[in-house]
Amino acid sequence: MNRIETGEQYIESLRGRNLRIFLWGEPLNEPVDHPLVRPSINAVAETYDLAARDPELASAISPITGKRVNRFLHIAQSPAELVMQGKMQRKMGQNTGTCFQRCVGMDALNAIHSVTFEIDEEHGTDYHKRFLGFLEKMQAENLVIGGAMTDVKGDRSKPPHLQEDPDLHVHVVRRDDKGIFVRGAKAHQTGCINSHWLVIMPTVRLEPEASDYAVIGAIPVEAPGITYIYGRQSSDLRSMESGTMDKGNIRFAGQEALIIFDDVFIPWEHVFMDGEHAFASMLVDRFSCYHRRSYVCKSGVGDVLIGAAATIAAYNGVPLASHIRDKLVEMNHLNETIYGTGIAASYQGFPTKSGAYLPDTMLANVCKHHVTILPYTISRIAQDLAGGLMVTMPSEADLRNPETGDLIRKYLAANPEVDTEDRMKIMRLIENMCLGRNAVNYLTESVHGAGSPQAQRIQMYRQMHLPYRMGLAQRLAGIEDAARPDLSRPVDDIAEYFTRVFRPEGDQNARQ
């Protein structure tokens, strides 16, 4: 494949791949021109065009080749480069108003870089060398990587190896001298059909008995044995309509699919973990750290929604009302809180042994936890400013009908300086982002992407360093003889903490 330089070249690279895709119960032979799929492809294409327009923002110099590469394929080498990832993601959110589908791959590459290095250090394997060879090829051809972490999981009370059906987590079913074969499924995989390669990863911490589930590997999307079942989105049939207004976002959308792997072959050169179960937790934690920080992208989408809310206020004739200004300020305050925590996590990034920089874990989780909540408030305010007409408005077909069009223009007019059709268009965009197709990416994805809210709370608890903080309080309160806990590591278990702090070994009279 020749190197892809532009969005149009990227779109052409997706043709004729003969993927096994099902949409609405029927095979989809060529997704590129399908009106339901094409908006999501357009969003990925913008990642190429942004790099061409603004190389300082959306590209970087690869330490592997010394050449400029798309930032979505780059391994961050400093806090400044982590920050640039966040700034690029916000700009992409502003440009598309939706999910542009490459963050998972970028975050997977960065996590795998450091984890393979440390597996090799402990086990004498050559995963890191294999990974660098793969990454060099991806950078040279400028391809899209889809990250595939989320297994379907089955019974959540059981680990992978104790599931009634072993295929409910992706696992290795056999090995030979050429490579491995994997079976299972990955759920709601962002942009997978729009990718050139998939990288599969474990999704949970693993016990020794689950070593077959400890697998990282790279697979071309058209590999034999892969089936894609396209995911439905709210109001996605709007994309099939002949007009543009009722689509809301007239160019862009996200994409998710269920991926089934039926004994899919991965050659050894593309296997980056095989059985090193103890490193699954490191991979999950590091990927989660990158990806939760990556939700700064929602601040870019929020910028679009704030702009739409301000526009409808002006179109309704009330842009200067004090309560309107106050609501817009609140939307901005919440949106910048998301961005601020994500950028702070990047600024406080630190190096791993491989040289890849990892964001601050606490702040990355705080960023994502804000994202599980604040976009819903931003969306509520936008709907408040739009008014009920946003969800009861006649269709574009009625607007074009000679018998009803003039009536709609007359009775849905507001600000006399604004065309009624423009007022309808901006309300359709707000509907699209708050309730329609792109609400999937702005709202539901904000809750469940990169882990549910409880996943972030668990990680934040682990990073709270309660012994250190309690020591600060005890010293200032004059509690000079307080038992000093071990401050060398985060405390995972509060019961363990209180046992260590308040009942030191050998002190039978310690406080409880």
With vertex at residue 317, the alpha carbon angle to CA 312 and CA 318, rounded to the nearest 5 degrees, is 85
Concerning whether 222 is annotated as a catalytic residue, the answer is: no
Concerning whether 445 is annotated as a catalytic residue, the answer is: yes
**Residue that is written with structure tokens 């992208």 in the block:** 297
Concerning whether 442 is annotated as a catalytic residue, the answer is: no
Kindly name the residue from 48, 295, 315, 357 that is annotated as catalytic.
Answer: 295
Q: Which two tokens stand for residue 473?
A: 């309080």
At residue 257, the 3 state secondary structure works out as strand
Kindly name the residue from 47, 103, 150, 228 that is annotated as catalytic.
Answer: 103
Concerning whether 289 is annotated as a catalytic residue, the answer is: no
Kindly name the residue from 48, 99, 290, 434 that is annotated as catalytic.
Answer: 99
Closest CA to 331 of 293, 295, 299, 297: 299
Alpha-carbon distance 77 to 114, whole Å?
11
Closest CA to 446 of 370, 333, 382: 370
Kindly name the residue from 46, 81, 118, 256 that is annotated as catalytic.
Answer: 256
β partners of residue 267: 179
List C-alpha distances in Å: 505 to 32, 266, 396, 469, 471.
67, 52, 75, 22, 19
β partners of residue 264: 182
At residue 241, the 3 state secondary structure works out as coil
List of residues 6+ apart from 74 with CB closer than 8 A: 59, 60, 62, 81, 106, 139
Concerning whether 99 is annotated as a catalytic residue, the answer is: yes
Kindly name the residue from 96, 116, 150, 190 that is annotated as catalytic.
Answer: 190
Alpha-carbon distance 149 to 283, whole Å?
10
Kindly name the residue from 118, 276, 396, 445 that is annotated as catalytic.
Answer: 445
Concerning whether 270 is annotated as a catalytic residue, the answer is: no
Kindly name the residue from 277, 291, 369, 370 that is annotated as catalytic.
Answer: 291
Alpha-carbon distance 180 to 178, whole Å?
7
Q: Which two tokens stand for residue 291?
A: 């990806």
At residue 261, the 3 state secondary structure works out as strand
Concerning whether 297 is annotated as a catalytic residue, the answer is: yes
Alpha-carbon distance 294 to 356, whole Å?
16
Would you tell me how many other CB atoms lie within 10 Å of the CB of residue 486?
Answer: 10
If you compute the radius of gyration of the chain from its CA atoms, what whole number of angstroms results? 25
- Length of the chain equals 512
**Residue that is written with structure tokens 């079976």 in the block:** 183
Concerning whether 103 is annotated as a catalytic residue, the answer is: yes
Q: Which two tokens stand for residue 321?
A: 């009302």
Would you tell me how many other CB atoms lie within 10 Å of the CB of residue 230?
Answer: 21
Kindly name the residue from 297, 311, 315, 361 that is annotated as catalytic.
Answer: 297
Alpha-carbon distance 374 to 381, whole Å?
11
User: What's the helix, strand, coil split of the chain in %, to 5?
Assistant: 50, 15, 35
Q: Please identify every residue annotated as catalytic.
A: 99, 103, 190, 256, 291, 295, 297, 445
